[in-house]
Amino acid sequence: MSIFVTGGAGFIGSQFIRDYVVQNPDELVVNFDALTYAGNLENLDPVAHLPNYKLVKGDICDDQAVLAAMPDGCAAVVHFAAESHVDRSILSAKEFVVTNVVGTQTLLDIARHKKVGRFLHISTDEVGGSMEPGQWFTEDMPLNPSSPYAASKTSAEHMVRAAAHTFGMDTIITRTSNNYGPYQFPEKLLPLAISNAMQGDPIPVYGDGLQERDWIHVADNCRALMMVLAKGRAGETYHIGGRNPLPNLDVLRLLLKVTGRPESLLKHVTDRLGHDRRYAVDFTKTTRELGWNPEIPFEDGLRATVAWYQDNQQWVRRARSGEYRNYYERMYGGR
């Protein structure tokens, strides 16, 4: 049996693969990744030698490359690949439409052609737009994306649902809240703040810093994804969250306490354009149907994450300097 994972060199996809290949030694995992700036093969070092892991470098918008790489009789596509950073989508939205919408449609077409068993599409709580204070996003609420990133992820969701409705494909959509943990590219808030704190550099706080995000450890998220893949109902959407919406300033103050750095490192800067105030996902349905709950309390997960960045300063240095991008040629050059 085999599964086809897209974007497996990124933050969440690499955690999923590191866990999945070890837990399922009889299944082949094909990691199909274009290795954009967000793809870092060093994230897969712990499992790259295993016989049930295979890397194929390719773009999800390239029909021929996807067709050639997706194994016949593939049990599932697990689709992580995306342009994922909101700030970049504000600077330039086009790549987000191409990868997140056209790329998703390319995968759907080829998965249907290859009669893939199940298509698991990884989406985001941002498709619901900003929640009111105290409001929680449920699976049946209307979609109301704000940023170009969220709009592209919403469009992708619509294409997935259309494929299920029109062609009877077995598709599932998951919407996750803000993930944190090891191997996250240091452009997102927590890895950026951790590495800046470690160096004693200022930490940029957008606007008043009172925007709320619902933090979940990436390992908890991947455990949920495996349960959805194995036991989720076709055609359904499942929310995955931490039940832990916190203002950014609270998160950063806790981080400074954990790293032993002064709060004077926090520097308020111009706010993100169109910045959503609150995300908070209600995942009652996922708990009820699949028995899943997050297990890692935020403060424990944050301490472990800080410890990981402290213990892996070479990874951080190479991610920040861009050196990680030479890895493919060095390891796989000529193939």
Helix, strand, coil: what percent of the chain each, to 5? 45, 20, 35
Q: Which of 11, 279, 283, 327 binds ligand NAD (CB under 6 A)?
A: 11
* CA gap 237, 306 in Å, rounded: 32
CB of 94 to ligand DAU, least distance (A): 17
Identify which range of 1-9, 272-280, 298-306, 319-327 contacts ligand NAD by CB under 6 A: 1-9
Assign 55 to helix, strand or coil: strand
Residue 95 is a catalytic residue: no
Residue 97 touching ligand DAU (CB under 6 A): no
From the candidates 125, 157, 212, 276, give the one annotated as an active-site residue: 125
**Integer-rounded Cα radius of gyration of the chain:** 19
Residue 153 touching ligand NAD (CB under 6 A): yes
* CA gap 195, 317 in Å, rounded: 9
Q: Whose Cβ is closer to ligand NAD: residue 9's or residue 108's?
A: 9
Residue 38 touching ligand NAD (CB under 6 A): yes
* CA gap 195, 210 in Å, rounded: 22
Report the partner that residue 242 touches, choosing among ligand NAD, ligand DAU, none (CB closer than 5 to 8 A by kind). none
Residue 248 touching ligand DAU (CB under 6 A): yes
**What are the C-alpha distances in Å from 15 to residues 88, 152, 179, 223?**
23, 24, 11, 10
CB of 18 to ligand NAD, least distance (A): 13
Residue 126 touching ligand DAU (CB under 6 A): yes
The 10 Å Cβ neighbour count of residue 125 is 26
CB of 128 to ligand NAD, least distance (A): 12
Q: Whose Cβ is closer to ligand DAU: residue 106's or residue 178's?
A: 178
Residue 149 is a catalytic residue: yes
Residue 282 is a catalytic residue: no
Q: Whose Cβ is closer to ligand DAU: residue 30's or residue 237's?
A: 237
DSSP state of 323: G
* CA gap 29, 17 in Å, rounded: 8
Please give the single-letter amino acid code of residue 51. P
* Residues in binding contact with ligand NAD, number by CB under 6 A: 29
From the candidates 42, 59, 126, 282, give the one annotated as an active-site residue: 126
CA angle in degrees (0–180, nearest 5) for 171-48-303: 80
Report the partner that residue 59 touches, choosing among ligand NAD, ligand DAU, none (CB closer than 5 to 8 A by kind). ligand NAD
Report the partner that residue 36 touches, choosing among ligand NAD, ligand DAU, none (CB closer than 5 to 8 A by kind). ligand NAD
Over the window 166 to 185, marking each residue x when it contacts ligand DAU by CB under 6 A and - when it does not, the resulting string is -----------xx-------
Contacts by 182-185, CB closer than 8 A, 24 or more apart: 182/15, 182/218, 182/305, 182/308, 182/309, 182/312, 183/11, 183/14, 183/15, 183/40, 183/43, 183/315, 184/11, 184/218, 185/10, 185/11, 185/37, 185/38, 185/40, 185/319
Assign 115 to helix, strand or coil: coil
Q: Identify the sign of the CA torsion 13, 14, 15, 18.
A: positive
Query: Which residues are 215's β-sheet partners?
Result: 178
Over the window 206 to 235, marking each residue x when it contacts ligand DAU by CB under 6 A and - when it does not, the resulting string is x----x-x----------------------
Residues forming the site for ligand DAU (CB under 6 A): 84-86, 124-126, 177-178, 188-189, 192, 204-206, 211, 213, 248, 272, 279
Residues forming the site for ligand NAD (CB under 6 A): 6-7, 9-13, 33-36, 38-39, 59-61, 80-82, 84, 99, 103, 122, 124, 153, 176, 178-179, 185
Could you give the residue numbers annotated as active site? 125-126, 149
